Structure 1
């Protein structure tokens, strides 16, 4: 497998990093988190102008027809800068809409996703069901030509800023997906903020009336595309974590070169050198697994092979995130826990990275079950 970036990927990655370095520094990020909206409209427009929202969409819908491997260096850059805009979730929801929606549904939303005027969100987690991907407590029943939606979804990233939600629900024939306006009657949002600064919301649907045009694809046929979308999301979440781990390692290495004890830099102490090397090896192993997961998601192979690659990567990256985040904080000493140091915020990002789209225990069980 080729682990080197193509020229196009390298150029895009450099463009994203250059923008983030000049417009999304640590202090600017703190201002975004503290704002009422919790995201930067300027950053969102810039991401769209760079084509990030269009990479994974088909060319017929105004996208570039790319995949997870094309987005991998982008997600690494976003993870390194600790970007809090719900770009990942909007990309995943848009790609799912492109794969399941009809021409009218795609035409209504995807051009806006491409130009940055529309954001989407995917609502799939349910209260009390951990990481189960098939909906159970959220259901939709037919009422005339439309549908009535009832149930609840948990920790929906970007729900408040989304023009539409894609909501998974149980119907009589299986799993179905619906386009839902998060501000329509029948939807209640309970917003909150995750430990790493993302804006999320728990949603409750009570007798929500939906038209026939809200259903994506055929009723009861959505579980396979939903599973594929969540594997795609998990692979990109792994890439985001790689970027955060890379920053944690580089920042810690630089600190050990400047922090002196007994008149000498602590980087000269052999025991600390061993720990830094372990961090680097762990990072490179995790990145290799992330690349494999992205390649399997982009491939046309067996769904079990895709799932095993993604789950294997998530287990490895969750373990790597824990080791590197803890080591980076410990080697920075007491200041590694302060609000003023980016390392402490990177620790939180990596803690959440181990939980999103399934934790290590969930994916270890899934890996074994897909054998």
Structure 2
């Protein structure tokens, strides 16, 4: 198997890495992450102009990539810079629209790709516990009986960039039990629709998220993404793209944390010598490097399986997320410990990379969830 990226992907990675190193240094990133906006609209538009967002979508959707390795290349570079702009939700929502949207809905993809429109996934709920099919938000046909409208009620948790989104991709149950795959329906809901409430807050790893509630929100059939009751397959595929993206982002963050730690071990002196000369620390560093390469292999495997049939894809993606959760926590802990007390200080970029690695484990399912899911899929 050839593990080298194509020339186009290498050029994409070089362009993005150079842009982030020149325009998105840590001081800039830290300032952006702590603003009331949660990200930079100017830089988001620049990413669009550079074609970085377009690399996440295929030509039929107006992009020029869209494959598993395209997603992996982009998000690995984003992880190296701890980029807080809304790439993840743009990918997930965009892939769902590309897969199941009608012509009018697919026309929205242009605004996503050029960076002029912000979207957000509103799927997770306070009691869902990462279970993809557990949806208690309800959408019912409006009582007028003409079948032309839906009434949406429920609440969604940790909606990334929810305050700035133009519309949400909302999962709601239109029939069936709360944990049934059948009966999950997807809606595109405008942020300013009557009955939509958004409460924003800062995240511990930078940027902002929101709690979003829907109270008697009236939607027409034109808000449906795909057929009513058949949204689970679309949601599952879009989330798989998001999991791959998070795993790739984690590998990029691990590489930077590793480099910071190697540099510290070479320069920090104790007893007149660099602490990197101590054999015990060398062994710990070597073990960590091996784990990072294992994480990279898991991402390559997931990227290659993104286009496979459903069971293969979901097992491989869950295996990657499990590996990333375990290894990410290990790398965060080891890098901070090898730095000593300074590793916990806010001013040191390493501490922010460690926080991001820990939080990635909790996005779209933690390692325990994905290990259990991997096993369950093997029994099907």
TM-score, scaled to structure 2: 0.94
Match of 1:332 in 2: 339
Q: Secondary structure at the match of 2:54?
A: coil
Which runs of 5 or more structure 1 residues have no equivalent in the other structure? none
- Deviation, 1:200, is 0.7
Task: Please say if residues 180 and 214 of structure 1, whose CA atoms lie closer than 8 Å, have aligned partners that are also in contact.
Answer: yes
- What is the correspondence of 1:214-229 to structure 2 with a 5 Å cutoff? 214-229=223-238
2:347 is the counterpart of 1:347: no
Assess if the C-alpha contact under 8 Å between 1:124 and 1:135 holds in 2. no
Distance 2:113 2:86 in 1: 15
Give 1:198 shift: 2.7
**How many Å apart are 1:135 and its aligned residue?**
4.3
Deviating 4+ runs (over 4 angstroms): none
Report the counterpart of residue 255 of structure 1 in structure 2. 264
Report the number of matched residues.
368
Deviation larger for 160-169 or 334-343: 160-169
Deviations 1:291-324 (A, max 9, x none): 1011111x2x331111110111111111110111
The equivalent residue for 2:128 is: 129
Give the CA deviation at 1:53.
1.8
Match of 2:152 in 1: 149
Say whether the 8 Å CA contact 2:171–2:186 is kept in structure 1.
yes
Alignment correspondent of 1:49: 49
3-state DSSP class of the match of 2:188? strand
Aligned to 1:177: 186
Q: What does the per-residue CA deviation read over 1:76-125, in whole Å, with 9 as the maximum and x for residues that have no partner?
A: 11111111112111121111111111001111x11111211012111111
Identify the match of residue 364 of structure 2 among 336, 357, 360. Answer: 357
SS at match of 1:200: strand
For residues 9 and 59 of structure 2, the distance between their equivalents in structure 1, rounded to whole angstroms, comes to: 18
State how far apart, in whole Å, the 1-side matches of 2:250 and 2:218 are.
39
In structure 2, C-alpha distance between the alignment counterparts of 1:133 and 1:123, rounded to whole Å: 12
Alpha-carbon distance between aligned partners in 1 of 2:110 and 2:22, rounded to the nearest angstrom: 28
Which residue of structure 2 lines up, in the alignment, with residue 84 of structure 1?
Answer: 84
RMSD (Å), alpha carbons: 1.2
Q: Counterpart of 1:275?
A: 284
Q: Could you say which residue in structure 1 is the equivalent of 2:303?
A: 294
How far residue 330 of structure 1 moved from its aligned partner, in angstroms, is 0.7
The SS at the match of 1:180 is strand
Q: Which residue of 1 aligns with 2:179?
A: none
- CA shift in 2, pair 1:306/1:60, >3 Å: closer
CA deviation after TM superposition for structure 1 residue 65, in Å? 4.4
Aligned to 2:112: 113
Describe the SS at the equivalent of 1:370. Answer: helix
| CA–CA separation in structure 2 for the residues paired with 1:93 and 1:240 | 18
With 356-365 and 176-185 compared, the bigger mean Cα shift is at: 176-185
- In the alignment, the residues of structure 1 paired with residue 265 and residue 197 of structure 2 have an alpha-carbon distance, to the nearest angstrom, of 49
1:282 CA displacement: 0.4
Shift of 1:67: 1.4
Other-structure match for 1:369? 376
Q: Give the unaligned 5+ runs of structure 2.
A: 176-181
Measure, in 2, the Cα distance between the counterparts of 1:349 and 1:92. 19
CA distance in structure 2 between the partners assigned to 1:306 and 1:68 by the alignment:
11
- Provide the residue aligned with 2:315 in structure 1: 308
Task: For residue 55 of structure 2, give the secondary structure of its aligned residue in structure 1.
Answer: coil
Q: Aligned equivalents of 1:356 and 1:291: distance in 2?
A: 20
Map residues 185-200 of structure 1 onto 2, 5 A cutoff: 185-200=194-209
Deviates more, 1:129-138 or 1:272-281: 129-138
Q: Tell me how far 1:164 sits from its aligned partner.
A: 1.2
Structure 2 CA distance, aligned partners of 1:47 and 1:344?
Answer: 26
Report the TM-score when normalising by structure 1.
Answer: 0.97
Match of 1:93 in 2: 93
* Alignment match, 1:32: 32
1:321-362 Cα shifts (integer Å, max 9, x gaps): 011110111111111000100000011100101111100110
Aligned residues of 2:34 and 2:207 also touching (Cα < 8 A): no
CA contact (8 A) 1:86 1:198 kept: no
Distance in 2 (CA, whole Å) between partners of 1:230 and 1:199 is 20
Q: Distance in 1 between matches of 2:293 and 2:201?
A: 34
